[in-house]
Structure 1
């Protein structure tokens, strides 16, 4: 690691030694200097590698369809499950990154799910989540003290060490655009059950909130009454407003 005094100094260093500014995750570290941080870094490197291999294999098994016919199939299948699925026009970020698909043989959705942890200012994406998976099982890899990923566990320390527990919310997409309103979801039920009779724009976005913050009217409340979230995705808001005007 090299220390610099200014931006010109950084640029000069990158030019002279052809440095990208990124740490070499596979660099050799002698045992005499190997500490807990290096161990955590190696663990994360292996986990990322495994995840990339797994995602690559899944992408070959489940190619992403973007035709109008397939998108209509998704909406019709969702309607049969009492889910009002809205598909955004090409060009929207949510449309581009959405990995949700319907498995015809299993007759179930595999959802692209966005998880937002406002008390830790963190967001994560879960791809291909089967609709029969229980909600608390989805969250285990994030907030469970024993089953969560060590790196994520450190990032979500406020959630992992909380004694009060958590609540899970989903934004209501129907009604006035501002202020926003939220449904409280049941962690003991499946993702499918929690999405019933709700509108989903491209994919579910779930807000995981510490129990002690649920009484704060500015963020979330138990019932879907007036509530605001300061980090709301602007594209989601614009798309939601457009859908209400139609």
Structure 2
């Protein structure tokens, strides 16, 4: 009899079923807290509310509503987070967490060859998508770079429905000894099949002609690099245009038919990049007192200390001794 009474009290506490509203509720969904009376009602509520029935372990619960169940759930959740972090540390893809690592021979040769050309080549970690896509290689025998170049043709007509009105093309191997005009001519000159295939998207660039195009290298390694670029010379080779620049894996070049950067970009000069890197390297110094103020503080501190030392030794303060060595040591300690 007592068991029946306790069961009835427990079910009455949940109220009526919120699905059929015909019977007393026996269950409460751990996630959405919908009260149900049977398995069919549980399945109906999951289907209608798109509920998986699993408790949201990160849901905010006021402290006055916390029970032992919530505390144990939070404790187990923290243990799972700890195990996940430990497993990620042992993941082979996460072995290298900094750029100063032992590079393979081919990548080391590429970086050193770029350094001789005054190009700051930065290679990302193995698991980065940009590193996986990179097809740049160095012909060691000829001493020649073959760059992977990402071309971004800007100012595409709005009806193309492209993000930022930019269309992207990629060349897997671009000889560094060729000029920019020679590399991009296959997209502009209608005598090439690629240009004819892209006639709809690149109509404005092809109408302007190769001589009217302007080239902009997307900046890397500077503040707001995603919206800054350098002006390139179309008559110079690709290698000459990359001198003094920072390249992450491979260069990204924007092509426009106007003598100004594409919309959303601003031009930057190499000298500005150098100044910004210098500013980042400078240590932050706090303003300190002037030399005169320091000298006055030393004199005041010395007088107080000398009087205390004389009183401790039982000497008369009026009879001062000229202890130059003691004074010099004390000043040095105060400065430190």
* Aligned counterpart, 2:131: 95
SS of the aligned residue for 2:255 comes to strand
Residue 154 (1) aligns with residue 203 (2)? no
Matches within 5 A, 1:1-246: 68-120=104-156, 121-147=166-192, 149=194, 150-162=196-208, 165-177=212-224, 180-211=227-258, 214=260, 218-221=264-267
Deviation track 1:79-134 (CA, whole Å, cap 9, x = no partner) reads 01111100011121110010000001111001100000122221000111111011
Distance of aligned partners of 1:224 and 1:106 in 2 relative to their CA distance in 1, 3 Å threshold: closer
Deviation track 1:131-184 (CA, whole Å, cap 9, x = no partner) reads 101110011001124346210233211211237922100122132136732110
Q: Give the structure-2-normalised TM-score.
A: 0.44
Contact in 2 for aligned 1:165/1:211 (Cα 8 Å): yes
Partner Cα separation in structure 2 for residue 177 and residue 68 of structure 1: 31
Across the aligned residues of Structure 1 and Structure 2, the Cα RMSD in angstroms comes to: 2.7
| Structure with greater contact order relative to length (CA < 8 Å, sep ≥ 6) | 1
Partner Cα separation in structure 1 for residue 168 and residue 204 of structure 2: 14
SS of the aligned residue for 2:227 comes to coil
Which structure's residues are more often helix, by fraction? Answer: 2
Structure with bigger gyration radius: 2
Instruction: Give unpaired runs (5+ residues) of structure 1.
Output: 1-66, 227-243
Instruction: Give unpaired runs (5+ residues) of structure 2.
Output: 1-102, 157-165, 273-279, 282-336
Distance of aligned partners of 1:141 and 1:222 in 2 relative to their CA distance in 1, 3 Å threshold: farther
Partner Cα separation in structure 1 for residue 266 and residue 256 of structure 2: 8
Contact in 1 for aligned 2:221/2:246 (Cα 8 Å): yes
Q: Which runs of structure 1 show a deviation greater than 6 angstroms over 4 or more consecutive aligned residues?
A: none
Distance of aligned partners of 1:87 and 1:144 in 2 relative to their CA distance in 1, 3 Å threshold: same
Distance of aligned partners of 1:225 and 1:165 in 2 relative to their CA distance in 1, 3 Å threshold: farther
Contact in 2 for aligned 1:132/1:191 (Cα 8 Å): yes
Which structure's residues are more often strand, by fraction? Answer: 1
Distance of aligned partners of 1:87 and 1:142 in 2 relative to their CA distance in 1, 3 Å threshold: same
Contact in 2 for aligned 1:117/1:123 (Cα 8 Å): yes
Contact in 2 for aligned 1:140/1:148 (Cα 8 Å): no
Q: Give the structure-1-normalised TM-score.
A: 0.58
